[in-house]
């Protein structure tokens, strides 16, 4: 019986970047990537990367921070 591998932090960042790029098509992909990386760096500094629960909690915060930042940037672009 094979076990499914836990997603790595890198996989989660890539998946989040893809989802946010789809949700914010007017924001350049490079900018979406930078926003997610900054949010990830800030959040993962305080997360215990060996704990699946801590990693999941950190990525909830990363997604919220990235979405807030992209909303602000998108609003500024439309103004």
Does residue 66 lie in a domain region?
yes
Does residue 30 lie in a domain region?
yes
Distance (Å, whole) CA 73 – CA 31: 10
CB of 21 closer than 8 Å to CB of 32: yes
Does residue 2 lie in a domain region?
no
What pLDDT shows up at residue 19? Answer: 93
Q: Using the structure block, give the residue that is written with the tokens 């921070």.
A: 65
- Whole-model pTM: value is 0.70
What pLDDT shows up at residue 2? Answer: 58
Does residue 72 lie in a domain region?
yes
Q: Domain count of the chain? A: 1
What is the sign of the dihedral through the CA atoms of 17, 19, 25 and 26?
negative
Residues of the chain with pLDDT under 50: none
Distance (Å, whole) CA 7 – CA 40: 15
What pLDDT shows up at residue 78? Answer: 76
Q: Which domain holds residue 47?
A: 9-17+25-78
């Amino acid at each position: 019986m094979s076990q499914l591998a836990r997603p790595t932090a890198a996989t989660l960042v890539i998946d989040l970047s893809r989802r946010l790029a789809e949700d914010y098509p007017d924001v350049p992909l490079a900018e979406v990537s930078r926003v997610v990386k900054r949010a990830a760096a800030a959040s993962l500094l305080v997360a215990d990367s060996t704990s699946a629960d801590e990693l999941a909690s950190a990525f909830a915060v990363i997604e919220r921070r990235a979405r807030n930042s992209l909303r602000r940037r998108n609003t500024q672009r439309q103004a």
